[in-house]
Amino acid sequence: MRVLITGGAGFVGSNLAVSLKKKYPSYEIIVFDNLRRRGSELNIRRFQELEINFVHGDVRHQEDLENIEFDLLIEASAEPSVLAGKDGERKYLIDTNLNGLVNCLEVSLKNKAKVIFLSTSRVYPMELINSLSYEEEEMRYSLLQNNEKGVSKNGFSDELSLNGYRTLYGATKLSSEYIIDEYVHMFGLDAVINRSGVIAGAGQFGKVDQGVVTLWVANYLYNKPLSIFGNGKQVRDILNVNDLFDLIDLQIHNFEQFNKKRFNIGGGLNASTSLLELDSICKELIGNKDVNIKPLRELDIKYYVTDNSKISQYGWTPKRTVKETVQEIHSWLIMNKKDLKWIFA
């Protein structure tokens, strides 16, 4: 099998590439990336050691993709920040997330290749999520009984309404989903859509607007200032990147079961954390540190936890806890502290 992973030098793409090659040495894994994100070039050495093919290119330019032959595409390329486009570079956001997706679909049709598209929970509207009823506990918000379709004690399913505003980032990913639906209907494309929440694990170069778990651990380790925006009780579920690989592995090798469907995927309620709880885990693991409190950022949501009920019917459930993910990140940072200093310190 020949697998092309766009955005393949990023955190998610590189982990999927390495895990696939280690589990299936006979597969040809092709990583495609423009290396725009700082630190992504550090993954090239890992690719070379495992005989993973690296192609330096940009999904915005279809000619960069034209000569690659593949059987399956994992579309993980994106400008992934919820703040993307707010202070400029809107054209890059839209060109990458939307026009880039179209280029990927065109070469997939040419190769008669299957597609697994990594979408996001940010397709759901902020105003709707923030308007739901929550209980404010000492360390977190908890979701109360709501009469909203797609909302349950387990979190949010793919039946949650899509009516409302969701950030430019979320809009580009939802638009991409709709375009995939049209390619499936009109041109017979085989495709699966996965809407994930926060993905975390070793190897992520975290920033304020994307990769918050790694950022939190790294700032503790490198003794950098940290700020909580709002009261710190905002909740997210954390999907360990190794749990994500388990799902992608399952989907690749049982594709017809998943074909033409979309799924909400995440860590679920058992792997959810507030910022305050994440900070407590870091204090326990690394040591005490003062954290600043700042006003709530716009575009933030109080709560997002994935209801995995649908995807669990297909034989997948996440296994790693938040604490285990934090420990993995901490170990990776310790092992590579000198090499990563220029990124995090």
Give Cα separations from 287 to 100, 101, 219, 280, 324 (angstroms): 43, 43, 12, 10, 17
The tokens describing 338, both together, are 């000198």
| Among candidate residues 25, 2, 165, the one with its CA nearest the CA of residue 71 | 2
Q: For the chain, give the percent of residues with pLDDT over 70.
A: 99
pLDDT tens string 154-164: 999 999 999 99
pLDDT tens string 13-29: 999 999 999 999 999 99
Q: Give the pLDDT score at 206.
A: 67
Q: Give the pLDDT score at 137.
A: 97
- Asked if pLDDT for residue 230 goes beyond 60, the answer is yes
Work out the pLDDT band at 295, boundaries 50, 70, 90.
confident
- Asked if pLDDT for residue 339 goes beyond 90, the answer is no
pLDDT tens string 131-158: 999 999 999 999 998 999 999 999 999 9
Is residue 158 within 8 A of residue 150, CB to CB? The reply is yes
The residue whose two tokens read 């296994």 is 319
Measured from the Cβ of residue 153, the count of other Cβ atoms closer than 10 Å reads 12
- Asked if pLDDT for residue 176 goes beyond 60, the answer is yes
The tokens describing 221, both together, are 């380790």
Averaged pLDDT for residues 257-262: 98
Q: Regarding predicted confidence, which is higher, 236 or 89? A: 236
Q: Give the pLDDT score at 208.
A: 56
Say what the pTM is. Answer: 0.95
Is residue 322 within 8 A of residue 281, CB to CB? The reply is yes
Q: Looking at residue 121, what DSSP letter applies?
A: G
Q: What is the largest CA-CA distance in the chain?
A: 57
149 Cβ partners below 8 Å, 6+ apart?
Answer: 159, 160, 161
